[in-house]
Amino acid sequence: MDILSLNIKDTNILLQNKRISSKELVSEYISRIKKYDKTINAFTSLNEGYALNKAEQIDKKGDFSNPLCGIPFTLKDNFCSKESESTACSNILKDFCPPYESTVVKKLKDSGAIVLGKTNTDEFTMGSSTETSIHGVTKNPWDKSRVAGGSSGGPVAAVVSNMCMFSLGTDTGGSIRQPSSLCGATGLKVTYGRTSRFGVMSMASSLDSIGPIAKSAEDIAIILRYIAGHDPKDSTTPKVEVPDYIKHLDNNIKGLKIGLPKEYFVDGIDKEVKEAIETAITNLKELGAEIIEVSLPNTKYVLPVYYVIVSLEVSSNMARYDGIRYGLPSKQSKDLVDHYFQTRSKGFGKEVKNRIMVGTYIHSLGYDGAYYIKAQKVRKMLLNEYNEAFRKVDVILSPSTPEVAFKIGEKNSDPVKMYLSDIFTVSANLVGMPCISIPCGFTTNNLPIGMQLLGPQFSESKILKVANTYQNCTEWHKKRPLL
Ligand code: GLN
């Protein structure tokens, strides 16, 4: 039996029946990581001793009533957790050992899940390809000359390569969904505030959200149950009840109304992506869903609006890395200003500096109204448009990305080209709504294609149910790359 390809539920049954031990499971994963991660480069740190130790303790207790107990997972390298350093894949945080843990990590550890290691991301999660990481690029497990996407390229590559059962990522403009689409994983960006951001390094505070990346919607439903909810340490997490997502996964989408925004089905989408999405729409129709066209006219402004908001919030969040509060201090500085200058010049990479400069400019005296406030107004118009669409439909379907995984190096000299790969993902962050990316096909040269299902705020149950129903009658999410 190949225990690494099982889902959470089946692994839990084996653990409960003592057919395998958590230690065996962890050892299997560690051997696989050691064998294959040299070529994939998904991991930035591996906690071999820690993970085996934890597994042993769990086996001794022998209580696997929590489905996550004894299950190995990974974290994107921007989560604070105590078992290893958290670097955000930046020089400025090289060797940084967090003195505290993020709420979501603590919740998973309390459930008995075991952190195998941290995984690669673009520096401070700014990017769509992991090419800006100090640890080097993560290769797409389906074609190693291509990117795994980003910024959560490491977490996603680790999941689809069976190097962990699931991972936690962050999504500010698509960083969970775009790599999930490019590598064939299932990734959920939750409603803004559904999961606590406490202890996770901020990129843009009004857009950041934390969510699971896994092998199926069913696994995501299990994980979400244990990480969602109000946290007194994050005032943006409302006291909205956390449903038992698994209970709501029933296989019935008869009469469900799926909206297709006409602005998303335009020229510029790869032909094979378009065909795969059309087939998925037909499948959903056959399952009883009703397809309705909707219009979201402000979609044409989402990228400029996103990049204005993101840059401003990035420039503010990055201010704490000054070599005094956080960040490797410069040793040769003449005075305080020079200290800041040296630390930040040496510590940050090019993309982070670009965003700090753009953000500082649009934030400078007299310019707020011209850029940031205007962008926030368009953001509000966009939210109204989505709310209006949800009067007619239950969920909105679109491709996750306009094209499949691109070649390493293909876009990194042209930021605008890189930014365009987020064209379909950023809206969900601007309107704070939940959105899942699931595999829905492969190109003729064997590269995964993903589709998104987006729902109104706090409708995770609904989009998980649609995704699960689709996955119960398709096999795309079960396909694994030959490493
Ligand atoms: N690729 C997008 C960006 O670079 C999204 C990043 C993210 O979601 N963290 O801004």
* DSSP codes of every residue in 299-348: GGGHHHHHHHHHHHHHHHHGGGBSSSSBSPPPSS-SSHHHHHHHHHHHHS
Residues sharing a CB contact under 8 Å with residue 316, sequence separation 6 or more, in sequence order:
359, 363
What percent of the chain clears pLDDT 90, i.e. is strictly above it? Answer: 92
Query: What number is the average pLDDT over the span 239-265?
Result: 95
Evaluate if residue 453 carries a pLDDT over 90.
yes
**pLDDT value of residue 307:** 95
Query: What number is the average pLDDT over the span 191-209?
Result: 98
Evaluate if residue 331 carries a pLDDT over 80.
no
Q: How far apart are CA 90 and CA 314, in angstroms?
A: 15
Evaluate if residue 326 carries a pLDDT over 90.
no
Task: Tell whether ligand 1 has an atom less than 6 A from the beta carbon of residue 311.
Answer: no
Residue 151 annotated among the catalytic residues of the structure:
yes
Confidence band, pLDDT 50/70/90 cuts, at residue 413: confident
**pLDDT value of residue 455:** 98
**pLDDT value of residue 332:** 81
Of the candidates 129, 138, 120, 141, which has an alpha carbon nearest to the alpha carbon of residue 406?
129
Q: Which of 42-46, 330-334, 458-462, 469-473 has the lowest mean pLDDT?
A: 330-334
* DSSP codes of every residue in 255-291: T-EEEEEGGGS-TTS-HHHHHHHHHHHHHHHHTT-EE
Of the candidates 426, 465, 445, which has an alpha carbon nearest to the alpha carbon of residue 209?
426
Task: Tell whether ligand 1 has an atom less than 6 A from the beta carbon of residue 426.
Answer: no
Query: What number is the average pLDDT over the span 2-7?
Result: 94
Task: Tell whether ligand 1 has an atom less than 6 A from the beta carbon of residue 89.
Answer: no
Choose, from 81, 175, 196, 461, the residue flagged as catalytic: 175
DSSP 234: B
Q: Which of 49-53, 179-183, 391-395, 418-422 has the lowest mean pLDDT?
A: 418-422
Nearest CA, atom 10, ligand 1? 126
**pLDDT value of residue 421:** 86
**pLDDT value of residue 439:** 98
Coil, helix or strand for 128?
Answer: coil
**pLDDT value of residue 392:** 98
Evaluate if residue 311 carries a pLDDT over 80.
yes
**pLDDT value of residue 167:** 98
Of the candidates 207, 238, 210, 206, which has an alpha carbon nearest to the alpha carbon of residue 223?
210
Evaluate if residue 412 carries a pLDDT over 90.
no
The position carrying tokens 């403009």 is: 173
Evaluate if residue 363 carries a pLDDT over 90.
no
Confidence band, pLDDT 50/70/90 cuts, at residue 59: very high
Evaluate if residue 180 carries a pLDDT over 90.
yes
Query: What number is the average pLDDT over the span 315-342?
Result: 89
Choose, from 21, 22, 54, 76, the residue flagged as catalytic: 76
pLDDT digits (tens, 9 = 90+) for 273-288: 999 999 999 999 999 9
Q: How far apart are CA 369 and CA 109, in angstroms?
A: 45
Confidence band, pLDDT 50/70/90 cuts, at residue 96: very high
Coil, helix or strand for 145?
Answer: strand
Cα 349 to averaged position of ligand 1 atoms, centre (Å): 15
Element (H, E) at 436: strand 435-442
**pLDDT value of residue 165:** 98
Choose, from 21, 86, 151, 427, the residue flagged as catalytic: 151
The model's pTM is: 0.98
For ligand 1, what atom is nearest to the CA of residue 127? 4
Q: How far apart are CA 31 and CA 435, in angstroms?
A: 34
Confidence band, pLDDT 50/70/90 cuts, at residue 155: very high
Residues 91 and 346 sit within 8 Å (Cβ to Cβ): yes
Rounded to the nearest 5°, which phi and psi values hold at 376?
Answer: -65, -35
Evaluate if residue 433 carries a pLDDT over 80.
yes
Element (H, E) at 350: helix 350-363
Residues 148 and 180 sit within 8 Å (Cβ to Cβ): no
Per DSSP bridges, beta strands 209-214 and 290-294 are unpaired
**pLDDT value of residue 418:** 87
Evaluate if residue 7 carries a pLDDT over 80.
yes
Q: How far apart are CA 387 and CA 332, in angstroms?
A: 55
Cα 20 to averaged position of ligand 1 atoms, centre (Å): 39
Structure tokens at 114: 């075991």
Task: Tell whether ligand 1 has an atom less than 6 A from the beta carbon of residue 151.
Answer: yes
Cα 173 to averaged position of ligand 1 atoms, centre (Å): 5
Query: What number is the average pLDDT over the span 422-451?
Result: 97
Element (H, E) at 63: none
Residues 133 and 161 sit within 8 Å (Cβ to Cβ): no
Confidence band, pLDDT 50/70/90 cuts, at residue 258: very high
Query: What number is the average pLDDT over the span 381-409?
Result: 97
Evaluate if residue 390 carries a pLDDT over 80.
yes
* DSSP codes of every residue in 414-460: -HHHHHHTTTTTHHHHHHT--EEEEEEEE-TTS-EEEEEEE-STT-H
For ligand 1, what atom is nearest to the CA of residue 418? 1
Residues 253 and 286 sit within 8 Å (Cβ to Cβ): no
For ligand 1, what atom is nearest to the CA of residue 174? 8
Task: Tell whether ligand 1 has an atom less than 6 A from the beta carbon of residue 131.
Answer: no
Residues sharing a CB contact under 8 Å with residue 415, sequence separation 6 or more, in sequence order:
351, 354
Residues 87 and 93 sit within 8 Å (Cβ to Cβ): yes
Confidence band, pLDDT 50/70/90 cuts, at residue 328: confident
Residues sharing a CB contact under 8 Å with residue 361, sequence separation 6 or more, in sequence order:
367
Cα 128 to averaged position of ligand 1 atoms, centre (Å): 6
Which residue stretches of 41-79 are H helix? 48-61
Nearest CA, atom 4, ligand 1? 127
pLDDT digits (tens, 9 = 90+) for 80-92: 999 999 999 999 9
Residue type, position 283, single letter? N
